[in-house]
């Protein structure tokens, strides 16, 4: 399922126009991004939790030259599925 398929499903399920469903989806995604950027956790009960994780700095290797390089520490988004989502899949 891609974004347009998801918009179609939201529009059909909520009985709203595709344009309104697209705006709602975009607003949801932007709100989650903004919360994560601020370091907050987004917990959707029954669906899952979005949070920011830390990845430590580490040594890597350039595959082309074999030279050792430093990979900087980074913040990464993480998602943990909730119980009802896990149950729906299994």
What does the CA dihedral 20, 23, 24, 25 come to, rounded to 10 degrees?
120
Report the pLDDT value the prediction gives residue 5, as an integer from 0 to 100: 96
Residue 21 — φ and ψ, nearest 5°?
-65, -40
Residue 42: name the closest of 1, 77, 15 by CA: 77
Give pLDDT tens digits for 39-65: 999 999 999 999 999 999 999 999 999
- CATH classification (class only), 41-90: few secondary structures
Report the pLDDT value the prediction gives residue 48, as an integer from 0 to 100: 96
Residue 63 — φ and ψ, nearest 5°?
-65, -25
Per-residue model confidence as pLDDT tens for the chain (90 residues): 999 999 999 999 999 999 999 999 999 999 999 999 999 999 999 999 999 999 999 999 999 999 999 999 999 999 999 999 999 999
Report the pLDDT value the prediction gives residue 81, as an integer from 0 to 100: 96
Which 8-state DSSP code applies to residue 61? E
Can you give the pTM of this predicted structure?
A: 0.80
């Amino acid at each position: 399922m891609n974004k347009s398929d998801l918009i179609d499903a939201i529009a059909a399920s909520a009985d709203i126009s595709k344009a309104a469903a697209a705006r709602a989806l975009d607003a949801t995604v932007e709100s989650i991004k903004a919360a994560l950027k601020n370091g907050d956790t987004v917990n959707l009960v029954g669906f899952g939790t979005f949070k920011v994780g830390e990845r430590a700095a580490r040594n890597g290797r350039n595959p082309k030259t074999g030279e050792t390089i430093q990979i900087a520490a980074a913040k990464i988004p993480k998602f943990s599925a909730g119980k009802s989502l896990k149950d729906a899949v299994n």
